[in-house]
Structures are given as structure tokens and as C-alpha cells.
Amino acid sequence: MSQYDLDALYRQVILDHYKHPRNRGQFEEDAMSIEMNNPTCGDRIHLQLKLDGDIIEDVRFTGEGCSISMASASMMTQAIKGKKVEEALKMAQEFSRMMLGEDVDITVFGMDDIEALKGVANFPARIKCATLAWKAVEKVKDK
Ligand code: ZN
């Protein structure tokens, strides 16, 4: 990837989430716990969710990896917090579609920042970095 491409990719909003991740940390009390990793890049995420019925009352994540994986995780936690599990799963589905380069109605996420990751669809090697956090959300179905 050329420097030019990187510059286009690593937009300001991505770096902001990477440097100042939202909802980063761990709950001290019991919470639903999901781990995912992306071996091709070395990204790891540990997602914790607190559910109240079918509402995602609160969410935290820890992990390490490239700026895209961590920024995507930060954005994801903001997007799903306070939402229904069903809505979060719909978002995960839409995010995957966005990474396939399909046209997605960004309002489904309830936040604009996620649009900054749209360009990742043009870099196939990085798509798994961006989708890692959302793959973790999809695991809620198996819990
Ligand atoms: Zn990565």
C-alpha cells in the first residue's frame, strides 16, 4: 500500500477513535464475554456486554491491533450501546455489506463516524481488521 493510499485510508476520524477509544476497559462484575482475533493482522478484541433483557445496556472492550481494528471496535461500541440486540445484529450485517462495497444506509448505525471506514472496502487485506469487532457482536447469537 502506498503512502498516498494510507493517507486516504487513515482519515482523521479513524485516528481519533484509535487514540481515544470509546468504551475501552473491562467490567469488574460478570458480563457476557466474547473474544475474537484476526490472525492475518494480529488484531485481538475482548468484548464485554451487559444485557438487560434484549437491550445492550452497556459495553466495554479491550484488545490490541492495528488502528483500523481498534477504531472500528471503538465505533462499534458507541453504535450498539443502548440498542436492542436485534438492532446490533442488523448493524453488523450492514457493516459487512459496507465492506463488500455495497451501498449501505449509514443511518442504521445512528452515528456518522462509521462512514470513515467505508474506504476500507477498497483494501481487501484490511477488511478483516474492520469487521473483527462486528464479528464479535454476531457471536452474541451463540451465547
Ligand atoms: Zn488489523
In the reported structure, the alpha carbon of residue 72 is separated from the centroid of ligand 1 by a whole-number distance in angstroms of: 10
In the reported structure, the alpha carbon of residue 43 is separated from the centroid of ligand 1 by a whole-number distance in angstroms of: 5
DSSP H helices, 3-140, are 3-9, 12-19, 67-80, 85-99, 127-138
Of 103, 46, 101, 52, give the one whose Cα is nearest residue 77.
46
- The dihedral over CA atoms of 72, 141, 29, 37, expressed in degrees to the nearest 10, equals -40
In the reported structure, the alpha carbon of residue 53 is separated from the centroid of ligand 1 by a whole-number distance in angstroms of: 33
pLDDT of 1: 56
pLDDT tens string 86-109 = 999 999 999 999 999 999 999 999
What's the CATH code, domain 3-142? 3.90.1010.10
Counting every residue written for the chain, the total comes to 143
pLDDT tens string 8-49 = 555 789 999 999 999 999 999 889 999 999 999 999 999 999
In the reported structure, the alpha carbon of residue 60 is separated from the centroid of ligand 1 by a whole-number distance in angstroms of: 19
Please give the C-alpha separations between residue 75 and each of 29, 50, 53, in angstroms, as whole numbers.
23, 17, 23
pLDDT of 10: 54
pLDDT of 119: 87
Question: Contact at 8 Å (CB) between 130 and 79?
Answer: no
In the reported structure, the alpha carbon of residue 52 is separated from the centroid of ligand 1 by a whole-number distance in angstroms of: 32
- The dihedral over CA atoms of 30, 82, 45, 103, expressed in degrees to the nearest 10, equals 160
- Is 6 a residue whose pLDDT tops 50? no
For residue 116, give the amino acid letter. A
pLDDT tens string 55-95 = 999 999 999 999 999 999 999 999 999 999 999 999 999 99
Domain boundaries along the sequence of the chain: 3-142
In the reported structure, the alpha carbon of residue 130 is separated from the centroid of ligand 1 by a whole-number distance in angstroms of: 7
In the reported structure, the alpha carbon of residue 88 is separated from the centroid of ligand 1 by a whole-number distance in angstroms of: 22
In the reported structure, the alpha carbon of residue 14 is separated from the centroid of ligand 1 by a whole-number distance in angstroms of: 13
User: Cell numbers 467490567 label which residue?
Assistant: 27
User: How far is Cα 99 from Cα 71, in angstroms, rounded to an integer?
Assistant: 15
- SS3 of 71, please? helix
